[in-house]
Amino acid sequence: MPISSFSAPSAIAKPGVCTSSTRPASPYEGQVIYATDTDLLQIWNGTAWRTLAFATPTNGTVLQTQTATYGTEVTSNSDATYKDTGLSASITPTSTTSKILVQVVQAGVYVTTGNSENRAQLQLLRAGSGIFDFTGTLHQYSATALIKIGQAHCLYVDSPASTSSLTYKTQFRNVYNGNAGVLVQAGSATSTIVLQEIAA
């Protein structure tokens, strides 16, 4: 009986590997694929394909986001020592080359009556060390030195070169006169911090 000839397929199918136009027609919930044309890992959630991540993150890709808020009023009367505002958030970078984009809205910044030179100063810290003074000295003279400054904003790109958990927080102080108070979150205003790991 003659043996029939056999031709090997030109390409061996690789389960889960496809292109964005040849994804499974009838996927099951939880099915994961890798699209070779877009370099994306995707999962079928039962109704749609959702992107998990770039298989190889490209420069500028947001890898993760961590946020926190704080809305308790805090007062400092010292011109020598920074005090925690209570606002903080932690993030664990996935790569030592990643950047951390830090965005802060420090709400309810307020200087009480006491001296015309009372000034508020705020700084950003990573792992307990100051890395950025994001206000200089906030000051607006008035006869009573009662100043409702409002919000102070911070936008900072950090290069921690670490894959350990990192805590970012803010601190504040009264720069020139310790006889009067500087407040943050005055009147229970809510401050916000956002940390984003950016592929680099």
Q: 98-129: b or e for each residue (b if 16 or more CB lie within 10 Å)? A: bbbbbebbbbbbbbbebbbebbbbbbbbbeee
pLDDT at 77: 79
Tens-digit pLDDT string for the chain (200 aa): 555 554 545 455 688 899 888 999 999 999 999 988 877 788 999 998 887 766 667 788 888 899 999 999 999 876 678 999 999 999 998 889 999 999 999 999 988 876 667 788 999 999 999 999 999 878 766 666 667 788 999 999 999 999 999 999 999 988 876 567 889 999 999 999 999 999 88
Instruction: Specify whether the backbone of 30 is left (phi greater than 0), alpha (psi in -120 to 50) or beta.
Output: left
pLDDT at 176: 73
Q: Dig out the tokens for 162 from the structure.
A: 């670490």
pLDDT at 200: 85
Q: Dig out the tokens for 173 from the structure.
A: 């102080």
d(CA 174, CA 179): 9
pLDDT at 184: 95
Q: The whole model's pTM is what?
A: 0.73
d(CA 172, CA 184): 8
pLDDT at 10: 46
